[in-house]
Amino acid sequence: MNISEKTINNYTIVSLQGILNASSAPKLKTYIAGMPDEQSLVIDLENVEFLDSSGLGALVGIARKKKTSSAIMKLARMNERVKKVFEITQAYTLFDIYDDVSAAAEA
Protein backbone atom coordinates (compact mmCIF):
# COMPACT_ATOMS: atom_id res chain seq x y z
CA MET A 1 0.00 0.00 0.00
CA ASN A 2 1.21 3.49 -0.89
CA ILE A 3 0.43 6.49 1.26
CA SER A 4 0.71 10.03 -0.06
CA GLU A 5 -0.08 13.29 1.64
CA LYS A 6 -1.06 16.86 0.82
CA THR A 7 -2.64 19.76 2.69
CA ILE A 8 -5.90 21.55 1.93
CA ASN A 9 -7.03 24.25 4.37
CA ASN A 10 -6.32 22.86 7.81
CA TYR A 11 -6.71 19.28 6.74
CA THR A 12 -4.04 16.79 5.88
CA ILE A 13 -5.28 14.74 2.98
CA VAL A 14 -3.96 11.20 3.22
CA SER A 15 -4.43 9.28 -0.01
CA LEU A 16 -4.21 5.53 0.14
CA GLN A 17 -3.42 3.37 -2.82
CA GLY A 18 -3.55 -0.42 -2.94
CA ILE A 19 -4.63 -2.99 -0.42
CA LEU A 20 -5.62 -2.14 3.14
CA ASN A 21 -5.60 -5.39 5.09
CA ALA A 22 -4.01 -7.06 8.11
CA SER A 23 -0.51 -6.72 6.67
CA SER A 24 -0.76 -3.09 5.56
CA ALA A 25 -2.95 -1.73 8.38
CA PRO A 26 0.02 -1.32 10.80
CA LYS A 27 1.78 0.80 8.18
CA LEU A 28 -1.17 3.19 8.04
CA LYS A 29 -1.38 3.30 11.83
CA THR A 30 2.32 4.14 12.19
CA TYR A 31 2.04 6.75 9.44
CA ILE A 32 -0.84 8.50 11.17
CA ALA A 33 0.84 8.16 14.56
CA GLY A 34 3.75 10.17 13.11
CA MET A 35 1.50 13.22 12.84
CA PRO A 36 0.45 15.47 15.71
CA ASP A 37 -2.63 14.02 17.45
CA GLU A 38 -4.67 17.19 16.94
CA GLN A 39 -4.09 17.28 13.15
CA SER A 40 -7.41 16.88 11.33
CA LEU A 41 -7.50 14.38 8.50
CA VAL A 42 -9.27 13.49 5.31
CA ILE A 43 -8.52 9.98 4.17
CA ASP A 44 -8.96 9.61 0.44
CA LEU A 45 -9.99 6.06 -0.36
CA GLU A 46 -10.47 6.32 -4.12
CA ASN A 47 -7.55 4.05 -4.97
CA VAL A 48 -8.02 1.45 -2.27
CA GLU A 49 -8.38 -1.80 -4.16
CA PHE A 50 -9.26 -3.99 -1.23
CA LEU A 51 -10.33 -3.42 2.34
CA ASP A 52 -10.82 -6.14 4.93
CA SER A 53 -11.87 -6.23 8.53
CA SER A 54 -8.38 -5.39 9.85
CA GLY A 55 -8.15 -2.43 7.47
CA LEU A 56 -11.50 -1.26 8.73
CA GLY A 57 -10.19 -1.72 12.26
CA ALA A 58 -7.29 0.62 11.49
CA LEU A 59 -9.69 3.31 10.22
CA VAL A 60 -11.93 2.91 13.27
CA GLY A 61 -8.90 3.13 15.54
CA ILE A 62 -7.66 6.32 13.87
CA ALA A 63 -11.11 7.89 14.06
CA ARG A 64 -11.32 7.09 17.76
CA LYS A 65 -7.88 8.56 18.45
CA LYS A 66 -8.68 11.74 16.55
CA LYS A 67 -11.93 12.10 18.42
CA THR A 68 -10.24 11.90 21.83
CA SER A 69 -7.83 14.66 20.82
CA SER A 70 -10.76 16.72 19.41
CA ALA A 71 -9.44 16.53 15.87
CA ILE A 72 -11.62 15.66 12.88
CA MET A 73 -11.26 12.69 10.60
CA LYS A 74 -13.29 12.33 7.45
CA LEU A 75 -13.36 9.83 4.65
CA ALA A 76 -13.63 10.79 1.02
CA ARG A 77 -14.15 9.25 -2.39
CA MET A 78 -15.04 5.71 -1.56
CA ASN A 79 -15.11 3.48 -4.57
CA GLU A 80 -17.75 0.80 -4.97
CA ARG A 81 -15.63 -1.98 -3.44
CA VAL A 82 -14.83 0.02 -0.33
CA LYS A 83 -18.38 1.29 -0.07
CA LYS A 84 -19.64 -2.28 -0.08
CA VAL A 85 -17.52 -3.16 2.98
CA PHE A 86 -18.72 -0.07 4.84
CA GLU A 87 -22.26 -0.95 3.97
CA ILE A 88 -22.29 -4.59 5.02
CA THR A 89 -20.47 -3.83 8.24
CA GLN A 90 -22.55 -0.71 8.87
CA ALA A 91 -19.29 1.04 9.70
CA TYR A 92 -20.52 4.15 7.85
CA THR A 93 -22.39 5.13 11.01
CA LEU A 94 -19.02 5.99 12.59
CA PHE A 95 -17.68 8.25 9.85
CA ASP A 96 -18.40 11.41 7.90
CA ILE A 97 -18.17 10.33 4.31
CA TYR A 98 -17.77 12.75 1.38
CA ASP A 99 -17.77 12.08 -2.33
CA ASP A 100 -15.31 14.93 -2.89
CA VAL A 101 -11.97 15.61 -1.19
CA SER A 102 -12.12 19.41 -1.31
CA ALA A 103 -15.67 19.42 0.06
CA ALA A 104 -14.46 17.27 2.94
CA ALA A 105 -11.57 19.63 3.63
CA GLU A 106 -13.79 22.70 3.74
CA ALA A 107 -16.47 21.95 6.27
Partner 1 sequence: MKTLLVIKKQEYEWLIDLFPGVHPLLVPICNKPFIEFLVDFAILAGSNALRIVSDGVLEDVEHYCENGSRWGVEISYGSMRPADDTHTVIEKNRRFCLEERVIIISGFLFIRYNKKSEYASLFASLPSGELLSCPNGSISLTGTSTTKTGTPGTLPFSLAALDSIGKYYELSMEILSTGLTHYVIPGYSSEENCYIGRNVVIPKSAEIIKPVIIGNNVQIMTNSIIDKNSVIGSNVIIDRESVISGSIVIDNTYIGEHLEVKNKIAAGNLLIDPQSGTSIVMEDPHLLTTMTQSRVAGALLRRIVHAVGATFLIVLQLLPWLLLRPILGMQGKWKRKREQHYTGLPGKNVTLTNTTIEGTGAASAFAKALSLDRFTLLFNVLIGKLALIGNLPLPVTPAIRRLPNSHEGYRPAVFSYAEAEEWPEIGIDAEIVEHYYAVHSDPLKDIAMTQKALFHRTH
33 touching partner 1, by CB under 8 A:
no
Task: In angstroms, give the least distance from the CB of 2 to partner 1.
Answer: 22
- Which DSSP string do the residues of 34-73 spell out, in sequence order? TS-TT--EEEEEEEEEEE-HHHHHHHHHHHHHHHHTT--E
Identify which of residues 39 and 92 has a Cβ nearer to partner 1 in the complex: 92
56 touching partner 1, by CB under 8 A:
yes
* Region 35-54 residues binding partner 1, contact defined as CB under 8 A: 52-54
CA distance 46 to 81: 10
